[in-house]
Structure 1
């Protein structure tokens, strides 16, 4: 699409096709962010800490917009982030880092395929989570094999809008206490490791670093050389996710007691409020979110790994597809092995993996984005300072939560 494409409003009324052209990339990023793991992280947050962590969502919105500003600027000059990394640290270092980040990134796919398989086993007569995982991954590979970005963008846009609609309908029957919701927007930090681990988990699942590798590589597909198009697209996508995330936390704080989360536990209190149909509808939404997020997340690796080898990769080309598909197969194998030989559950995987990525992949990506913007753009002082604060925040959160996350994982294993 040309950079001359005109958007008459923030939510154009010209029709679905123009809407997806204007905001489809943001919806794809939303689908990546709001995977199955997010559902359980958010509901577990509300159950464990009430309304007290609502403040993290507006902050995550600002941080994510700042990160997307940096990656979007790289897209306007067709300078993928991994290309900059390879040119900066050398070919060998770039290759090693791309493989490391891709490996960490695919932890998200492990958790999403595990939850998707559990949801499929619950919804159908399969009653076999491992077969459910394989079938869910098969749907993901079929999505990759659509090849053309416009097709994939449209398919994921339909999926994520369906998921959003389902969650909104499920939550309409509950009245939230406005006073408690408002009090939760006041920032509060404690030295409790579980609280801090939850904070970094929320940032890890909301400030979704694979999206930055994807966006910086999307210049040829989108054709936008004006940053304003990326800003509109980014704002609509992340604002929608943040508002929905805050709703999930608030509803869980109102309806759930602290517990070990299960596949259906976030929806069980809704049965009394809206009816027994809430349960299968909720699990259906979990399944849709699982495979769209698992596969969409790996699009970041589909760009990143070939670029580290010096290839000018385009969305859906052979190198892109093979990288994603290899990681899908690896994710399926790891998911089955973890479920078979450890005590961890699919839902626990969904809660843990975003925190792992927030601890490792997010700070590295934030620093690389900052350095790339310093090289290619002459930003005003206030913008450089804002970007530096974002990068510093990512490293501080990672350092503060490493011990708590390690203890949590060891306890589950």
Structure 2
């Protein structure tokens, strides 16, 4: 039976949600990619150690991310993927090497997410085996990729991230919020403490997310948007959504957690004392959903990256896209199991470290490519070129600071 012949009861309220996902589903996909294992625990760690002091970094990250998405969105309007620009600028051979290297680095995100997903499944189910849990999470990720049709995948991931958001909003509203102290956290504040600076850089690293720029610059055949208006609205809703969700995690953690590197369940343990026994499994469920959607959605960037490096026209869900993502999922699950078996690193520590590694390597490459691609294809006014230049320089400053903070964090753990 064709979709045109399908009968949908008139009382089902499907048209409103369908229009919402069509308009803002891409932004929600970007939010789901951002909010994975690393974000949950980096944000929890930030709230536990620094209270509300770093809330101001979230709207700043929103502005920076909007500028980056403005550059990738403009490329989408003319259907010029950023990888195609890179291939034309540096040649086919170097682009292929770069694409394979970045795809390999990109699956580090999936390693951390599937490790945490495995731990969450082991906690929530009678499975009681992190390795099998990670394998099952990878299998679910492959099933999601095999949906093939972008609209279906977009709707599924939108439902997941909205569920996570609802969980955290319920937890936040259930607390006795000190509104004055929370609002004071949006006043910019700095100190020289290395832990404070590490947390600050981590917040930017979990928000400014380069796989999303690859996806957006390649998505025009799926979205059919040729003007910037829909991209801007979609970007703003998606990024504002992740800022609100991130703020909720920081606030909950600031009010309930003791300082220290979190474990799988530690952000939820104080919630159990406040709300009852249901709070802890609900928190772990939110972690599971976030890690699962982020692990798979992030690799969508690689699904475009690798075929485009070989100069193949790639559409979401085609054979080259699916095989690339599925191979990386299998690799990520394999590495996750090996790392947990043969090293002392925990799934949560993987979740905290892997986003920093990705930001250190991939972000400056694609920030620079987006900047020069916009210079080539568009005649922007000087003020806009200046804005893009400042944001691009900030990405390199962020990379330098990430390297320092990552080194300090690993040395502390060792």
CA distance in 1: counterparts of 2:273 and 2:75, whole angstroms: 49
CA distance in 1, matches of 2:176, 2:183: 14
How many Å separate the matches in 2 of 1:31 and 1:326? 21
Question: Which residue of the partner structure matches residue 210 of structure 2?
Answer: 209
- 1:26 lines up with 2:32 in the alignment: no
Deviations 1:352-376 (A, max 9, x none): 1112222221122111111111111
| Aligned match of 2:56 | 55
TM-score (norm 2): 0.94
Conserved in 2, the CA contact under 8 Å of 1:200 and 1:398?
Answer: no
User: How is 1:111-122 mapped onto 2 (pairs within 5 angstroms)?
Assistant: 111-122=112-123
Pairs within 5 Å for 1:173-252: 173-252=174-253
* Aligned-partner Cα distance in 2 for 1:226–1:319: 27
Describe the SS at the equivalent of 2:84: helix
What is the number of equivalent residue pairs in this alignment?
402
Q: Is 2:37–2:352's contact at 8 Å kept on the other side of the alignment?
A: no
Matched, 1:381 2:372: no
Once residues 139 and 313 of structure 2 are traced to their aligned partners in structure 1, the CA distance between those partners, rounded to angstroms, is 27
- Provide the C-alpha distance between the structure 2 equivalents of 1:180 and 1:305, rounded to a whole number of angstroms: 47
CA distance in 1, matches of 2:413, 2:315: 40
| C-alpha displacement of 1:311 | 0.6
Measure how far apart 1:14 and its partner are: 5.3
* Deviation of 1:260 (Å): 2.6
Measure how far apart 1:71 and its partner are: 0.5
Q: What is the CA-CA distance between 1:348 and the residue it aligns to?
A: 0.8
Aligned partner of residue 15 in structure 1, secondary structure: helix
Query: Which residue number corresponds to residue 5 of structure 2?
Result: none
Structure 1 position 247, deviation (Å): 1.7
Deviates more, 1:323-332 or 1:254-263: 254-263
1:343 aligns to 2:356 (yes or no): no
Q: Distance in 1 between matches of 2:371 and 2:25?
A: 25
- 1:199 and 1:100, CA in 2 relative to 1: closer, same or farther beyond 3 A? farther
1:100 correspondence with 2:110: no
Moved more, 329-338 or 111-120: 329-338
Counterpart Cα distance in 1 of 2:22 and 2:385: 31
- 1:10 matched residue in structure 2: none
Within 2, Cα distance between the matches of 1:358 and 1:185? 25
Q: Deviations over 1:315-373 (max 9, x none)?
A: 10111001001110110111111111111111111111112222221122111111111
SS in 1 for 2:206: helix
Superposed CA RMSD in Å reads: 1.5
What corresponds to 2:44 in structure 1? 43
Could you give the per-residue CA deviations for residues 133-183 of structure 1, whole angstroms, max 9, x where no partner exists?
A: 000000000000111111111111111111111111122211222222222
SS state of the match for residue 261, structure 1?
coil
Measured against aligned partners, the alpha-carbon deviations of 1:42-69 in whole angstroms (never above 9, x if no partner) come to: 0101111221111110011001111111
Q: Is the 8 A contact 2:75 2:374 kept in 1?
A: yes
State the Cα distance separating 1:76 from its structure 2 match: 0.3
CA distance in 2, matches of 1:55, 1:357: 24
Moved more, 132-141 or 362-371: 362-371
Ranges in structure 2 where 5+ consecutive residues have no aligned partner: 1-13
1:271, 1:342 → 2: CA distance? 31
Given the superposition, is the C-alpha separation of residues 48 and 234 from structure 1 closer, same or farther in structure 2, using an over 3 Å criterion?
A: same
Residues 201 and 352, structure 1, Cα contact 8 Å, conserved in 2: no
After superposition, the C-alpha distances for 1:85-107 in whole angstroms (9 at most, x for unaligned) are 11101111111111121122111
User: Displacement of 1:410 after TM fit?
Assistant: 4.4
2:34 and 2:209 in contact (8 A); partners too: yes
